[in-house]
A and B are shown apart, each in its own frame.
Chain A
Amino acid sequence: MEVFQSHRKSSSNNVIVSILPFYRSAPPLEVRLEDFEFFAMDRLRVLKGISDGLCRGKKPEEMEKLVVDLWKANMRHPQAVEEVNKDIISHFVLRLVYCRTEELRKWFLSMETTLFRHRFRLESSEAQRALMSEFKLPYKAVSNAEFESVKDKLGQVARSMGQNLAAADAIFYKVPFEEVPDLVSGRRVFIHKGHAYVAMNQVVSLVVTQFRSYISKALILTNRKWTSTIREQEKDRLTPIVEALCTSYLGPDYSQPQEFGEISIKDIDQVAKTSFPLCMRHLFEKVKEDHHLKHGGRMQLGLFLKGVGLKLDDALAFWKAEFAPKVSAERFDKEYAYNIRHNYGREGKRTDYTPYSCQKIISVTPGIGDHHGCPYRHFSEENLRAALVRMGLSSRAVEDVMDKVHNRHYQLACTLTFEAVHGSSCDAGINHPNQYFIDSQRVLQSKNGSVA
């Protein structure tokens, strides 16, 4: 794959191997540098969406729909050739990004495999058969006549697993039992005279297993190549892009508060109680209690408030008032006002700082005297439970949240908290404290017809 800067050359190889690529080798395509990055980011949105869906425990049918929606939203192109090229290019770019550590590889492998599984299922039977022969799997479809003769037994097997012999699964493959030890082991197939009758969804598992095993090996090889040659060779061009890609937050940045316009000082106390996520509630409570916050907390809460709609003047007034018992007005103006103005882009290089996403907040480690970071990650179990109870969660809800915490799904824990507090579901999951705020306001407004 050649990466070109600036100008576009028409792709000389319009070869489509199949609609669903196996990513066996990087095709000889030419890619613009911008496309290199953007294609990858689009695919990353798909993979992260899948990751979210899996974390939320979506059922297979829901996942399938999610995959379709994500793909349509991010990867579609009116020209089939372009779509396939983007598919392949983005996969290979992300291989570079995600080959570098064991954890990254594991994540990428898991998401790509899930993506492949659902896309495979959506293919027509001919396409699936063609794909299977590419993988050289020795499966023969069962003839209608034979199917009729074993239908009862197949139904029995399905029901023994709590499933039904749906019309969709009426396609069965006859395979030597030696090829499917897992299915034999779990008595998940009907076996007769040495042949196992494998249902379509089980065949998918087998193809996916092959795919997974292939990608897994490819990632290791890619990592070797990356470490030995590519990273150095591309240190001025591709390497910075690759290194930035895996930590990128891909949602809206909430730098411009939109929906609820302005929030004024007098509203803050009220909305803090109803619509702040735990991380911000905690910081807010601490400011009120200690009349102080260290730098990390001021940044996290301050930017959040900006995203919520607090204007600069109101922000200055807020912090000044809260700090008043410990910091005189003059000292405030000297030591703290500048930073707040800086956050709003009125000082220095005038960057309008964006409020922190969950990813960023989770990644920081608060030190002694700090109160920022993600409480789901850093609070002791006891403190977290107490905080959740203070937010009004039932003991059942607290258990559910703690379960997510124990499994280190911090955003999921926050999502469950949201759902428990508001009594409504949050399908998209929480990715950003300001998103929590907006969603919360939305729910409350639809309930009360007013803001908070």
Chain B
Amino acid sequence: MTKEEADNGRDDMVIDVPGQANAVPDGFNANYLRIYYGKLFPHADMFKWMSYGNDGKHPGCDKSYFGRREFSFTLENDIYIRFQSFNSVTELENSIKEKCPFKIDIGPVYSVDPAKRHAYAQSGNNVFTPVERELVFDIDISDYDDVRYCCTGADVCLECWPLMTIAIKVIDTSLRDDFGFNHILWVYSGRRGVHCWVCDGKARRLTNEQRAAIADYFHVYKGNENSQKKISLPGLVLHPFLARSYTEVLKGFFEAKLLPNQNLLASEERYEKILEMIPDASVASELRRRWQENKRASMSKDDINIVRWEQLKSILQSGKQKMQGLRRCVEEIVFSYTYPRLDMEVSRHMNHLLKAPFCVHPKTGRVCVPIDPNNCDEFDPTTVPTLSQLLEELNRGGLRQDAENEWDRTSLGESVAFFRTSFLQPLLKSCKEEIENSYNAKLQQSKNDLS
């Protein structure tokens, strides 16, 4: 570490142990954050994103747009400040560097600058109101605690993380194929889940009612610890969305991964949970009887879970089953274990605040990095860069002349590059087009009006 760097108030991190000159102890604190916000956090990219093309270069740009966006900061000691707004990238950057928030949330774009909201509230005409907001989703693995036996609560490992992966696949496919959205950003929440930001203009302008409709469209898993049957798939066949999700994602994952990895049928306690979902008591008893007799799969080398699952499917799907409720029972079981469990409230309202990408999670120190939905199988939450790791990498890199692109010499580089090429650039291109088209249309309209 050079003298300059040392003088920048990072003394507490200097460890004068030979061979460990660059090591940075694990942790999360204001000092680390200060460096992070100083050198690594992609302020300019966030600004470009949130401007949605309104950079003033085109006459059709809305210069007030960025300034009407709400940010909220959670400071050290849990001090929470809302309705922060900024008029330029510099203001944004300076405020973040100065306040060093432990968490940054992004809110909606309002009708007027949030800082001036009190002036407008007086008129009583509801003039201070959200006008745009990304369509967002939040999936948290702790909502799956009843179907994963490897971890509980905030913990996550490579055995259960795939539940998030398939959630991404199901939702992402539907957002693109069914709803026609294109500009979708998936982000690791830093500890135990994922967030989704749908940024198309159409999505940002959805009303609360329309957001609720989309959330309901995705709402299949309905229940809590008090309800017994949480998935109900009536009807002779599944809706194309559910059918596609089942055949392309859920079935394969359940049978090949979840079932054996979580030993869902290996013990009585676990298989009872599945037997409970079978509405026909005689079928359930028949299976129970068989499995009680056959405590291990003595005959075959195959995984006991898979053997038993085949038995279950064979009985339920045989043509002999007349009872109405059994028709979709197999699918219902698979859906209960694997179908995405969204937090409905997050998606329904425009004014819901959501954590900004590239924040650092206070409990894990991990950065909220984007996830590539086309490669989400490869994503490993246990190897996401941590704050201390990044600072260590910075140290190793030594002094650099250019202050820009520091992330390039750290593990964060990959994430920022991905953010730019896969998400930001296509989005901005599309925004520019939208602004131009809208501007030209207005010009044409006024020409028509005058003539």
Using a CB–CB distance below 8 Å, which chain A residues touch chain B?
Answer: 153, 156-157, 159-162, 177-178, 181-182, 184-187, 190-195
Contacts and interface: CB of A to CB of B under 8 A. Distances in A.
A160 B216 contact: no
Given A162-B234, A194-B202, A195-B180, A185 B239 contact: no
Interface stretch (B108-116, B204-212, B376-384): B204-212
B238 interface: yes
Given A187-B241, A191-B179, A195-B180, A159 B213 contact: no
Given A177-B179, A191-B179, A193-B177, A156 B214 contact: no
A187 to B, nearest CB: 5
Per CB-CB distance, the 7 closest pairs between chain A and chain B, nearest first, are A194-B180, A181-B213, A185-B216, A193-B180, A160-B235, A185-B213, A191-B178
Interface size class of B (residues with CB under 8 A): 20 to 34
A156 B240 contact: yes
B236 interface: yes
A151 to B, nearest CB: 12
Given A159-B237, A182-B213, 17 more contacts: A153-B240, A156-B237, A156-B239, A156-B243, A160-B236, A160-B237, A162-B234, A162-B235, A184-B217, A185-B216, A187-B217, A187-B241, A187-B242, A192-B178, A193-B179, A194-B180, A194-B202
Nearest to B218: A187
18 contacts: A153-B240, A156-B238, A156-B240, A156-B243, A159-B235, A160-B236, A162-B234, A162-B236, A178-B202, A181-B210, A184-B214, A184-B216, A185-B216, A187-B242, A191-B178, A191-B217, A194-B180, A194-B181
Interface of B: 177-181, 202, 206, 209-210, 212-214, 216-217, 234-243
Contacts of A153: 240
A163 to B, nearest CB: 9
B177 A184 contact: no
B240 A157 contact: yes
A213 to B, nearest CB: 14
Nearest to B238: A160
Interface centre among A162, A185, A190, by most B CB within 10 Å?
A: A185
Contacts of A190: 240
Q: Provide the main secondary structure of the chain B interface.
A: helix
A159 B179 contact: no
A162 B180 CA distance: 27
A182 B213 CA distance: 7
A47 B216 CA distance: 36
A306 B157 CA distance: 86
A253 to B, nearest CB: 49
A90 to B, nearest CB: 36
A161 B249 CA distance: 23
B213 A161 contact: no
Contact of A157 (B212, B234, B239): B239
Nearest to A161: B235
A81 to B, nearest CB: 40
Contacts of A177: 179
A185 B206 contact: no
Contacts of B210: 178, 181
A193 B180 CA distance: 4
A192 B177 contact: yes
A162 B237 CA distance: 9
Nearest to A153: B240
Contacts of B179: 177, 191, 193-194
A187 B239 contact: yes
Contacts of B234: 162
Contacts of A193: 177-180
A21 B217 CA distance: 36
A418 B190 CA distance: 69
Nearest to A181: B213
Contacts of B209: 181
Contacts of B180: 192-195
B324 to A, nearest CB: 11
Nearest to A183: B213
A182 to B, nearest CB: 7
Nearest to B174: A191
Contacts of B236: 159-160, 162
Interface centre among B181, B213, B214, B240, by most A CB within 10 Å?
A: B240
Contacts of B216: 184-186
Contacts of A157: 239-240
Contacts of B241: 187, 191
Nearest to A164: B236
Contacts of B178: 191-193
